[in-house]
Chains A and B, each alone.
Chain A
Amino acid sequence: MNGKSSITIKGVKEGLVFLLDDQCDFVTLLDELHAKLDKHEQQLAGPLVHVYVKLGARQLDEEDKERIRAIIRKQGNFLVQTIESDPVAEEAADYASYRLHTVAAMVRSGQTLEHDGHLLLLGDVNPGGTVRCTGDIYIMGALRGTAHAGCAGHEEAIIAASLMKPTQLRIADIISRPPDEWASAEPWMEYAYLADGAMQMDKLTHLHHSRNKVLQAKGV
């Protein structure tokens, strides 16, 4: 434990918040909780106190939660209100389930447009402006600012714009700075995508090679 406590107790307006470390072993954690409450037995006596337990990233089943409750309950005046873990990262959201949302807007310097899903923006993104999306970003207009597609971690997300002059492009965790890394002066529409963890540009007309899942009724 190298001397650092894995339990932090904070006083808030509603009562006490127990912040439990999410890295250490669960049994160690219980022992320490035990020790801590025993040590402070006198100080913690008094009127009824509501206790909120925060587990950080640790996920516990009902049985283990009950063990925490039992330890805290031993301190007569403590009432455990909640035992919570941080919400699970959004990995759970399925990329294929994202819906397309259409917005008509000018994203100017200092403004941020955020959306959960795919976004079709009818308008420009100016330098200093940001568009952030968990899915794809399609811009019918000029992209001169920053665009971040797949911001929840989806590396298959793409960014397409009628005029591709971004300050910075981000897909998932990859950041790319034109024109240091690439420059676009092509007359056709382009899109940015990730290939082997690096930002790539291609003609938009090539997109269907990688995304041909939709059945098309083509004339014979």
Chain B
Amino acid sequence: MGEAIVVTSGKGGVGKTTTSANVGTALALLGKKVCMVDTDIGLRNLDVVMGLENRIIYDLIDVAEGRCRLNQALVKDKRFDELYMLPAAQTKDKNDISPEQVRKIIEDLKPDFDYVIIDCPAGIEQGFRNAIAGADQAIVVTTPENAAVRDADRVIGLLEKTQIAPPKLVINRIRPSMLRNGDMLEVDDICQVLAIDLIGIVPDDEVVIKAANQGEPTVMNPNSRAAIAYRNVARRILGETVPLMHLDEKSGVFRRVRKFLGMG
């Protein structure tokens, strides 16, 4: 029996889909059988980030309404045999599926997979309620901005009222240079306000945008700092103790990456 983990944030644009895609892929990289579920109905993105858009035949709504079997809707990843994705519908909206229907689908997926990663839409309305319905655990993504932290706090409050285990925090898009100058919220300050366990800090990395545009999850690129950070998140999900990445001292790696990409 696998575990269902919902990736949520409240605020949009902080990197839920990127985190879902990369953590899912990283878990597959570590030999786990993973299914990623996109619940952002009407605004699906996970398939684009994974580069699987052209393989979609059926979607989440088709499964919920019985137009196809669950297995038919699963899209197999082109890189890993044990990585699948259940895409969201693009033509419907969030109210066309109920939390009970999502819960049923997640329950059906869990016996066949080690991890079910649920990509949640922004907001705290129906789409959010759908996404968290079947989850056992939650990862809250935030960025070092006040607005994102505020929304993360709101979402944590809502998650704490459910049966889901205490959520874990990913701080995304950290810019070490801005941290050094004190222009960005400190990791420690964010953790103090949100008062939940930190499961990963991810530096801002241009490689992430580039990779997403190419439909290639960043974790595949071992030269990217963000990739290593996402792999670390996956290892912590598996229960390993991995020290937090040092954002400051290894700025040399950034230069190396840049050089490697021909920008330095």
Listed in ascending order, the chain A residues whose CB lies under 8 Å from chain B are: 106, 108-111, 124, 126-128, 142, 144
Determine how close the nearest CB of chain B comes to the CB of A163; give it in whole angstroms: 9
Count of interface residues, chain B, beta-carbon cutoff 8 Å: 12
| Contact assessment for B195 and A109 in the assembled complex, using a CB-CB cutoff below 8 Å | no
Report whether B195 and A124 are in contact in the complex, using a CB–CB cutoff of 8 Å.
yes
- Dominant SS among interface residues on chain B: helix
Neighbour of B150 across the interface among A111, A128, A142, CB < 8 A: A128
- In the complex, what's the smallest C-beta–C-beta distance from A84 to chain B, in angstroms? 36
Q: List 30 A-B residue pairs with CB atoms under 8 Å apart, sorted by A's residue number.
A: A106-B157, A106-B160, A106-B195, A108-B153, A108-B154, A108-B156, A108-B157, A108-B160, A109-B150, A109-B151, A109-B154, A109-B157, A110-B154, A110-B157, A110-B158, A111-B157, A124-B193, A124-B195, A126-B153, A126-B193, A126-B194, A127-B150, A127-B153, A127-B193, A128-B150, A128-B153, A128-B154, A142-B192, A142-B193, A144-B193
Contacts of B150 in A (CB 8 A): 109, 127-128
In the assembled complex, which residues on chain B have CB atoms less than 8 Å from the CB atom of A110? 154, 157-158
> Within the assembled complex, what's the spacing in Å between the Cα atoms of A197 and B259?
64
Q: Tell me the smallest distance from the CB of B138 to a CB of chain A, in Å.
A: 14
B145-183, CB under 8 A of A: which get 1 and which 0? 000001101101110100000000000000000000000
Docked pose: A106 CA to B159 CA in angstroms: 13
Give 6 new A-B contacts, CB below 8 A, not counting A108-B153, A126-B153, A128-B154: A109-B154, A110-B154, A126-B193, A128-B153, A142-B192, A142-B193
The 9 closest A-B pairs by CB, nearest first: A108-B157, A109-B154, A109-B153, A110-B154, A108-B153, A126-B153, A111-B157, A109-B150, A128-B150
**What's the minimum C-beta distance from B190 to chain A, rounded to whole angstroms?**
11
Assembly CA distance A144 to B195 (angstroms): 13
Interchain nearest-CB distance for A176 vs B (Å): 21
- Chain A residues near B194: list those with CB within 8 A: 126
B124 and chain A: residue at smallest CB distance: A110
B153 neighbours in A (Cβ, 8 Å): 108-109, 126-128
B195's nearest neighbour on chain A, judged by CB, is: A106
CB distance from A124 to the nearest CB of B (A): 6
CA distance A111 to B156 in the complex (A): 11
Within the complex, the shortest CB–CB distance from A96 to chain B, in Å, comes to: 34
Q: Which residues of A contact B157 (CB under 8 A)?
A: 106, 108-111
Q: Which chain B residue shows the least CB distance to A141? A: B195
